[in-house]
Amino acid sequence: MNYDAIIFDLDGTLWDSTETVAESWSATLRREGEGHIFSAADIAGIMGCTDREIENRLFLRFGGRAHELCVKCMGEEPAYVAVHGGRIYEGVEAMLDTLCRPYPLFIVSNCQSGYVEAFLTYSGFGRYFKDYEYLGRKGLSKAENIRLIMSRHGIARAVYVGDTAHDRMSAESAGCDFIHAAYGFGKCEKPFAVINKPLELCSLMTGENYE
């Protein structure tokens, strides 16, 4: 396909860290004297959300401490994730190793500061990516960060790979085609293309069979 680059979402596209994030947040709450325990299902429900959306969906139960506890949970999370990691989807490394040769690869996520770095530390995948951006760095939206990556690297035409309807809207707002990672957390209508496992992206982008 005639693209200058591939830009990836992170959660639900490259890995699933819901169990680890739930453990991290629950540990933070215990240290703060709160008895609530988060589950992986709780975390799956807010993957891809902004910090404000996460606070409104999961932390309002803590009343006047909602913002404080949300900030503490999210602030302590990256160090925990860097050590304990997440479940990297089967075929992701082979996909990245294949696609980093014909295409420069990037990550754009709605995560907090330190989270992409935690993923790269745990996975060892830093060698596959040219650059990354995320919400927590400058407060920019996903669409703005996609455009920032494209501008920074002189990319005229990129494709964005993600798993949610918000990813699709962000990609389209940034002028990119969207490929839906249907194995992830979300659903979306009318993507440019759909992959049901990571290696299908190799076949789609190169025209070769990677089944």
**How far apart are the C-alpha atoms of 174 and 154, rounded to whole Å?**
14
Task: Kindly tell me if the per-residue pLDDT of 211 is higher than 80.
Answer: no
Q: Place 208 in a pLDDT band, splitting at 50, 70 and 90.
A: confident
**How far apart are the C-alpha atoms of 208 and 204, rounded to whole Å?**
8
Q: What's the token pair of residue 101?
A: 């040769």
Nearest CA among 17, 41, 3, 6 for reference residue 162: 6
- The confidence score (pLDDT) of residue 209 equals 77
Percent of the chain at pLDDT above 90?
Answer: 91
Residue 180 dihedral angles phi and psi, to the nearest 5°: -85, 120
The distance in angstroms from the start CA to the end CA of the chain is: 18
Query: Considering the entire predicted model, what is its pTM?
Result: 0.94
Indicate the range of 113-117, 181-185, 204-208 predicted with least confidence: 204-208
Task: Kindly tell me if the per-residue pLDDT of 158 is higher than 80.
Answer: yes
Q: Output Rg (C-alpha) for the chain, integer angstroms.
A: 17
CB-count burial class (<10 Å; 0-12, 13-18, 19+) for 74:
buried
Q: What is the pLDDT of residues 78-109, one digit of tens each?
A: 999 999 999 999 999 999 999 999 999 999 99
Q: What is the pLDDT of residues 130-142, one digit of tens each?
A: 999 999 999 999 9
- The confidence score (pLDDT) of residue 2 equals 87
